[in-house]
Amino acid sequence: MIEMIRQPWPWYVAGPLIGLTVPTLLIIGNKSFGISSSLRHTCAACFPGKIPFFQYDWKKELWNMFFVLGIFFGGIIAAAFLLNPNPVEVHPNLVNELAGYGISDFSGLVPKDVFSWSELFTARGLIMMVMGGFLVGFGTRYAGGCTSGHAIMGISTLQWPSLVATCCFMAGGFLMANFILPFILSL
């Protein structure tokens, strides 16, 4: 059983499981799925100031905080007990392309040549980790939700703004991966 959990699950198993969260949440309590709103709930709970954006009944969304804690502890359990000892498989064409940017260490979940404490203080690291993190946070707030909220919950409940947001996420991802990222990696 543990070996089955350690292996990557095929799309036709993982996809429906993720998709079934939407009707389950709607049937159980008319709840919306999304992760980015949990940061707002945390701020409203921990910093009860006079900021209008944080003045709402965050206790009604406490289930979302437990959901996020479950993701956090699930990650810890997976890293501690379900870690795959084999190196991450990277397509040979991608390995050759990344080698041109000086990225060759694929021993972890992310390339250490890009995502490490020593890289954080380089131009490439600052752009990718600090500026990238800011843009993800800003974009999430500006779009009214994250990719999981819009793509999984919003589209499945036939919300037009979620379809537009998801199309924009995809277009931005293609633009970033094919045009902007090669420039940043060459720094």
Residue 93 forms part of a structural domain: no
Q: CA–CA separation, 156 vs 153, rounded Å?
A: 5
- The DSSP H or E segment spanning 22 is helix 21-29
Residue 89 forms part of a structural domain: no
Q: CA–CA separation, 187 vs 48, rounded Å?
A: 42
**Whole-number pLDDT of residue 25:** 85
| Mean pLDDT, the chain cut into blocks of 10 residues (187 residues total) | 78 89 86 82 84 87 88 90 80 93 86 89 91 89 85 88 93 94 90
Report the half-sphere exposure of 184 (CA within 13 A, side-chain side): 19
Among residues 40, 68, 83, the one where a domain terminates is 83
Residue 98 forms part of a structural domain: no
DSSP conformational letter for 147: H
**Whole-number pLDDT of residue 175:** 96
Residue 157 forms part of a structural domain: yes
Residue 102 forms part of a structural domain: no
Q: What are 85-103's pLDDT values in tens digits?
A: 777 788 999 999 999 999 9
Domain residues for 125?
114-187
**Whole-number pLDDT of residue 40:** 84
Among residues 68, 83, 98, the one where a domain terminates is 83
**Whole-number pLDDT of residue 169:** 92
Q: What is the dihedral angle through the alpha carbons of 141, 145, 147, 148, rounded to the nearest 10 degrees?
A: 140
**Whole-number pLDDT of residue 173:** 93
**Whole-number pLDDT of residue 35:** 82
Residue 178 vs residues 59, 136, 161, 172: alpha-carbon distances, Å: 42, 18, 26, 10
**Whole-number pLDDT of residue 72:** 93
Q: How many domains is the chain partitioned into structurally? A: 2
- SS (HEC) of 23-51: HHHHHHHCCCCCCCHHHHHHHHHHCCCCC
Q: CA–CA separation, 39 vs 50, rounded Å?
A: 17
